[in-house]
Amino acid sequence: MSKVRVDNLVKEFGDVTAINHTNRVFNDGIMTVLVGPSGCGKTTLMRTIAGLEKPTSGSVQIGDKYVTDVPPWDRNVAMIFQSYALYPHMSVYENIAFPLKARSVSGSDIDRRVKETANFLQITDLLDREPKELSGGQMQRVAVGRAVVRSPEVFLMDEPLSNLDAKLRVHMRAELKQLQRELEVTTIYVTHDQEEAMTLSDDLMVIDEGNVMQEGSPSEVYRNPDNTFVARFIGSPPMNLIECSCNHQDDTIRTQYFNYPLPDDLKPVIQKLPAENKFLLGVRPEDINVESEEKNKTIKTRLTLIEPQGKEVLLTLKVGDIELKCLTYPDTEIPEVGEDLWVSFSDLRLHFFDIDNGESY
Amino acid sequence: MFYRIKKWLSTPARYTAMGMVMFFSLGPLYWTFTTSLKPMGAEYKLPIELWPSEVTFQAYREVVTELDFLINIRNSFIVSSVVTVVSVILAGLSAYAIARLRFKYKVQSLLFLQLGGMIPPVVTIAPTFTILRSMGLLRTLPGLIVPMIIYNVPLGTWLLASYFANLPFELDDAAKVDGYRPFQIFYKVILPIASPGLFSAGVFAFIFSWGQFILANTVFMGVSEIQTVPVAIQNFSANFRTQWTWISAGIILSLIPIILLVIIFQRWVIRGMTAGAVKH
């Protein structure tokens, strides 16, 4: 168990900056998830920690040791790949034993550890099989086994669940989390799936264009996004962002189509908002409440689409040009598509962002 | 439009074309075979006999007993085997570097290598002769082996590099984090799964060396006990009269090892060796 630390890390591929002056600590024994759209640099960051990519500048530290110039075969990290990368000419047993053989572990020790690992992952009956005889879920377990067997300092997991079907993915997700809890090995996990990121992470890093946009616990990142990128990326459906201005006299938010008075609790926040300039109001779909009738603070919208999702119903609403996504419960009274619907916002869960740089106020 | 062309090509025209190709490739072989079964002198007999009226193995007997042709086959076998093994090893190493390692001037080194491979042996025969003479390799088997290895490596590299480039790169990455260095990855991971590619490169090298004539003829300089098959066969006609039955029998005999080789190794040259490595 060791923490991983990157200092002023830069990785450029020609003109493209994959990692942009990143300073981060990946804490000991916990699971840190790197999440971001494809091409944001999250996999490059992981590969740099593994030693598979050489940084353009900056340093990588595993435990107390600087490993920036240490080749991957001399770093004690284990990696699970999206494609599993099992060795096709070796049996499951040989695949799991392969990393031990590189470390001159004695023959009887290898045998014991491979069998222990197989037992732990419940793949003992697969040990004699070839990779081509395995299902996706089984290949995944073997890949995990190959990583676990040698008690590495750090686990690196590069989208390990993306090739599984949806049901198996949810199952394996829980298993991976439990495995990490039991072994307490520092784990860095890369995914583009924000739901997977939320459920798995102890620490969540949202990455875009080589920059860490926000880091924190998943609930913190969800509740208080630092910027519009995080607000849009984390949460599904994404947060509604509405262009507004604000009147400091009557504490009202104004848009082209509606005015919305804010409660006293939010006054300190409102005072910070630029009076004449525009800003972005962020409302999560679940923070839009369907009202049965017109009230003091309701907004009149037009219902344009109803998408039942089982335990929730996703509504698409229109106020003039503004489109709002609203999540509600199936037992809510919902009118027909094309009819009017009154909604209000959960005031204390509103977010305000700078319209130019996207930063939170 | 395309459909119609395709349809027209599909049946009679296609078979006609295939028939012509087969006639031109197998026809001479058939003629060689039947000639080898004729008694001496009967190959000139008119009208042409599609199958000899008198079948005899006299030519084979004479080629083997009087002309010591088996020694020539043994020589060819030694030359081709050594050339195949050594050139596949060298080509495998260079192909691995080109296909899977990162280094400066990679494209340039590949081009340089291929440039060497593009020069036909006949062009370099004079300098090769001089070099071999100064090395004392004339009239020896290594005198043919060494240059043949040099001719085979560029083609083998080209073949294997394209094969290696198609193997999943995650395997190298996985082996690296599992604790293996590039050379270990080459022989523990890449070579075993690239065996179909290695066998095809090997078969190419073997056939190319087996049939090499100009260089062999130059190097051996008429010393019959070290001559390889093509040179020996050519010498069957060196006397006052061209012995077509001997030549034909020699050709048929020299074909047997090649045909056996292809039959034996074609089961190794199977596709799908990487099945189960990665899931896409």
How many other CB atoms sit within 10 Å of the CB of residue A277?
Answer: 11
B76 within some domain: yes
Q: Tens of pLDDT along B47-78?
A: 877 888 888 888 888 888 888 888 889 999 99
B278 within some domain: no
How many other CB atoms sit within 10 Å of the CB of residue A337?
Answer: 12
Residue A14 CA to residue B82 CA, distance in Å, equals 44
Chain B residues touching residue A43 (CB < 8 angstroms): none
Domain identity same for B94 and B13:
no
Residue B48 DSSP code = P
Is the CB of residue B189 less than 8 Å away from at least one CB of chain A?
yes
- State the smallest CA–CA distance between residue B201 and chain A in angstroms: 20
pTM: 0.80
B139 within some domain: yes
Is the CB of residue B192 less than 8 Å away from at least one CB of chain A?
yes
Q: How many domains does chain B have?
A: 2
Q: DSSP letters along A245-299, please?
A: EEETTTTEEE-SS-EEE--GGGHHHHHHS-SSS-EEEEE-GGGEEEESS--TT-E
Hey, are the CB atoms on B278 and A78 less than 8 Å from each other? no
Q: Tens of pLDDT along B164-220?
A: 888 888 999 999 999 999 999 998 999 888 888 888 888 888 988 998 888 888 887
Reply yes or no on whether the pLDDT at A68 is more than 90. yes
Locate A168 and state its tokens: 């198996």
Chain B residues touching residue A162 (CB < 8 angstroms): none
Residue B29 CA to residue A198 CA, distance in Å, equals 72
Chain B residues touching residue A86 (CB < 8 angstroms): 276-278
Domain identity same for B118 and B242:
yes
Domain identity same for B68 and B82:
yes
Domain boundary among B39, B57, B75: B57
Is the CB of residue B175 less than 8 Å away from at least one CB of chain A?
yes
Residue A39 CA to residue A188 CA, distance in Å, equals 18
Residue A323 CA to residue B17 CA, distance in Å, equals 66
Residue A280 CA to residue A343 CA, distance in Å, equals 19
| Candidate from A144-148, A162-166, A231-235, A322-326 with smallest mean pLDDT | A162-166
Q: Are A179 and A19 in contact (CB under 8 A)?
A: no
How many other CB atoms sit within 10 Å of the CB of residue B77?
Answer: 15
Residue B60 CA to residue B194 CA, distance in Å, equals 40
Q: Are A324 and A283 in contact (CB under 8 A)?
A: yes
Q: Could you tell me the pLDDT band of residue B276, with boundaries at 50, 70 and 90?
A: very low
Substitution target from A79, A89, A104 for chain B, most B beta carbons within 10 A = A89
What is the percent of chain B with per-residue pLDDT over 70, rounded to a whole number? 90
Pick the residue with more confidence: A123 or B269? A123
Domain identity same for B180 and B79:
yes
Domain identity same for B52 and B113:
no
Domain identity same for B185 and B111:
yes
Q: Could you tell me the pLDDT band of residue A318, with boundaries at 50, 70 and 90?
A: very high
Per the structure, the complete domain to which residue B196 belongs is given by: 61-273
Q: What is the pLDDT of residue A245?
A: 86
Domain identity same for B182 and B147:
yes
Q: Which residues pair with A79 in a beta bridge?
A: A156
B213 within some domain: yes
Q: What is the pLDDT of residue B239?
A: 60
Locate A302 and state its tokens: 């037009």
Is the CB of residue B178 less than 8 Å away from at least one CB of chain A?
yes
* Chain-centroid distance, C-alpha A266: 29
Search chain B and give the residue with CA nearest A73. B179
Locate A44 and state its tokens: 């490059």
Reply yes or no on whether the pLDDT at A295 is more than 90. no
Domain identity same for B48 and B163:
no
Interface of B with A in 140-169 (CB under 8 A): 168
Is the CB of residue B101 less than 8 Å away from at least one CB of chain A?
no
Q: Please state the length of chain B.
A: 280
Q: Are B276 and A133 in contact (CB under 8 A)?
A: yes
Q: Report in angstroms the alpha-carbon separations of A178 from A155, A171, A174.
A: 14, 11, 6
Q: Could you tell me the pLDDT band of residue A238, with boundaries at 50, 70 and 90?
A: very high
Domain identity same for B220 and B119:
yes
Is the CB of residue B54 less than 8 Å away from at least one CB of chain A?
no
Hey, are the CB atoms on A78 and B177 less than 8 Å from each other? yes
Q: Are A280 and A352 in contact (CB under 8 A)?
A: yes
Substitution target from B103, B177, B193, B271 for chain A, most A beta carbons within 10 A = B177
Q: Tens of pLDDT along A211-228?
A: 999 999 999 999 999 999
Residue B179 DSSP code = T
Torsion angles phi and psi, residue B138, rounded to 5: -65, 150
Domain identity same for B128 and B207:
yes
Domain boundary among B11, B36, B57: B57
Kindly report the CATH number assigned to the domain that includes residue B130: 1.10.3720.10
B279 within some domain: no
Domain identity same for B153 and B237:
yes
What is the percent of chain B with per-residue pLDDT over 90, rounded to a whole number? 25
Domain identity same for B133 and B76:
yes
B13 within some domain: yes
B280 within some domain: no
Residues contacting residue B106 through CB under 8 Å, at least 6 positions apart: B97, B98
ipTM: 0.85
B21 within some domain: yes
The closest alpha carbon to B74, from B266, B253, B205, B264, belongs to B253
Search chain B and give the residue with CA nearest A130. B276
